[in-house]
Amino acid sequence: MSVINVEGLTKEYLVHHKKPGLSGSVKALFHREYERKVAVKGLSFKINEGEFAGFIGPNGAGKSTTLKMLTGILTPSSGTADVIGCTPWKRSMVHRRQISIVMGNRSQLIWDLPPLETFGLNKEMYQIPKVDFDKDLTELSELLGVDHLLKVQTRKLSLGERMKMEIIGAVLHRPRVLFLDEPTIGLDLFAQRHTREFLKDYNKRYGSTILLTSHYLEDIKELCDRLLVIDKGQMLYDGQTNQIVNKLSLHKFITVSFKQRVSPERIVALGGTIVTEQLLKMVIRVPRNNVTRLAGEMLNMLPVEDLTIEDPSIEDVIENVYSGEGIKEGEAI
């Protein structure tokens, strides 16, 4: 059953442009010039209950804007969205009690108070029974390794410690839907790994639906079976994370070792592009639909000692999508 249903979601802004200098400021008082900016354009997708989905794109792609609309922070220009049976921007109590959001560059903790006191306020706002609150807080803080820091002022915590507290505060009321916007931003490798392990365990334990945005592809690979890729506010890919290489990559790589030197011109003549060349070894980039033919011709025509064929990494594929390569193929999915 889907708990997030998005259909044709669009968000547009009018951006004011002021010319430089005093004269530009004076003119802007009487005649403002605006440019229409489309942050999200006709976005449609569904997320099923209990699903842990990744939601990625380059800076300015519309990820955070989409999450803000789904949490009710922003109202869309057009389109519809349904989260747990509610329209988010109507901000009903039913919706607000069953969702939560963690934004890596925003804090819900009160700077001069220890996290324990902020969590106490959450307990009252969400009317969490004391037995459940005490049990969950103890369990969550121990899992994240911050149980000894609950009474320390938030301002005195490190970035990693604060982010862990942010996550605890977001899940204390056991939301059915959890939105995570860059939850591991700025964390060291150890803290990132610890946070990923916690989120994976939380998803399995409580069956919460989680939508994660992150610039760290390791987060996506470790946590998300499903991946949504957007750019310029539009969907480029929606499918299984482990299938994105096959769907969006236009090339494969052949690593070949020769018994004797082979001139680069012969490889180019066969239709390959040499990526690296070292002594008798080459890495060759080949269009995906030509791999079988080129590998066969190399084995038959050249002094090959060893040959392997590999897909590009998910990082390379995503980078190519952002730069424009692979999008045409992705649109046909």
Residue 100 structure tokens: 């939560």
Model confidence band, residue 200 (pLDDT cutoffs 50, 70, 90)? very high
Q: Check whether 332 has a pLDDT greater than 50.
A: no
How buried is 271 (Cβ within 10 angstroms: 0-12 exposed, 13-18 middle, 19+ buried)? middle
What are the domain boundaries of the chain?
A: 2-245, 250-310
What pLDDT was estimated at residue 324?
61
Q: Render pLDDT for 282-307 as a digit per residue (tens, 0 to 9).
A: 999 999 889 999 999 999 999 999 99
Q: Check whether 61 has a pLDDT greater than 50.
A: yes
Please say whether the beta carbons of 6 and 53 come within 8 A: no
- Beta-bridge partners for 252: 286
Lowest mean pLDDT among 25-39, 95-109, 214-228: 25-39
Q: Check whether 9 has a pLDDT greater than 50.
A: yes
How buried is 280 (Cβ within 10 angstroms: 0-12 exposed, 13-18 middle, 19+ buried)? middle
Indicate the class that CATH gives domain 2-245.
alpha beta
Q: Check whether 133 has a pLDDT greater than 50.
A: yes
Please say whether the beta carbons of 126 and 173 come within 8 A: yes
Give first-to-last CA distance, the chain, whole Å.
Answer: 23
**60 CB-near residues (< 8 Å, 6+ apart):** 232
Give the pLDDT mean for 71-95.
Answer: 94
Residue type, 186: G
Indicate the class that CATH gives domain 250-310.
alpha beta
| Alpha carbons 218 and 134: distance in angstroms, whole number | 33
What pLDDT was estimated at residue 325?
58
Q: In Å, how far from its chain's centre is CA 171?
A: 19
Residue 330 structure tokens: 């992705």
Give the pLDDT mean for 18-42.
Answer: 80
In this structure, the strands spanning 304-310 and 52-56 are unpaired
Model confidence band, residue 330 (pLDDT cutoffs 50, 70, 90)? very low
Whole-number percent of the chain with pLDDT over 90: 61
- Beta-bridge partners for 54: 212, 227
Our CA dihedral for 188, 189, 194, 198, rounded to 10 degrees, sits at 90
- Look over the chain and give the mean of its residue pLDDT values, rounded to a whole number: 88
Please say whether the beta carbons of 225 and 238 come within 8 A: no
Neighbour tally for 294: CB within 10 Å: 19
| Alpha carbons 285 and 282: distance in angstroms, whole number | 10
